[in-house]
Amino acid sequence: MDSDIIKIRKYRDDLNVCGLSVIVLGVWSVVKAIIEMFTEFKNDLGLEADTDMERVFGIILIVLAFGVIAGLIMWLHLYVGLNAMKAARGQQHKKKYYPVCIFLCALTIASLGTYLEEFKNVDSIDTTLAALLVDLTTIYIFIVVIISTYKLRKFSAEQVDDKTETITDDQIQE
């Protein structure tokens, strides 16, 4: 029974820390996207317009679309992170954060293919390596959230099945 309490405490701690990390890395994703957007603005975005008004309108549309996408990315990271932290504390939380976390992990893994083209540019290899390390860290954190959630749910299901030995939250908090 003591080993179960230790495992549950470990998984809760992991879930709490990684939930916060998901939020922090979500903020970083948005900041990185903003930096990339301004870099593209510097490179003229490839907008070919006849008048200045059309050009301004095109830029406004691009910024609005970017804002919606950045907001969605941040919302998904907040959703996963906050609910993972609530689950770690044993509070009421939305259980759908688990499949959303799996989706974000799969999306991040799929995006690793974009680095193949970036590695061809030797001038920015340091920036590419740094971005790759951040993405690998993000994948690791998503995997820890997935595993910790799965293990905590498994322990919770075992407690329901085995009513003779239930582990209370007070025992875990000690």
pLDDT tens digits, residue range 120-151?
Answer: 888 878 888 988 999 999 999 999 999 999 99
pLDDT at residue 161 in the model: 62
pLDDT tens digits, residue range 9-47?
Answer: 999 999 999 999 999 999 998 998 888 777 766 655 556
Residue 164: pLDDT band (50, 70, 90) is: very low
- Round the average pLDDT of the chain to a whole number and report it: 85
Q: What is the pTM of this model?
A: 0.81
CA 157 to chain centre: 26
Q: Average the pLDDT over 53-64 and give the result.
A: 83
CA 27 to chain centre: 9
pLDDT tens digits, residue range 65-83?
Answer: 989 999 999 999 999 999 9
Structure tokens at 91: 């509070």
The three-point CA angle 170-173-174 to 5° equals 90
Alpha-carbon distance of 93 to 153, in angstroms, equals: 13
pLDDT at residue 109 in the model: 95
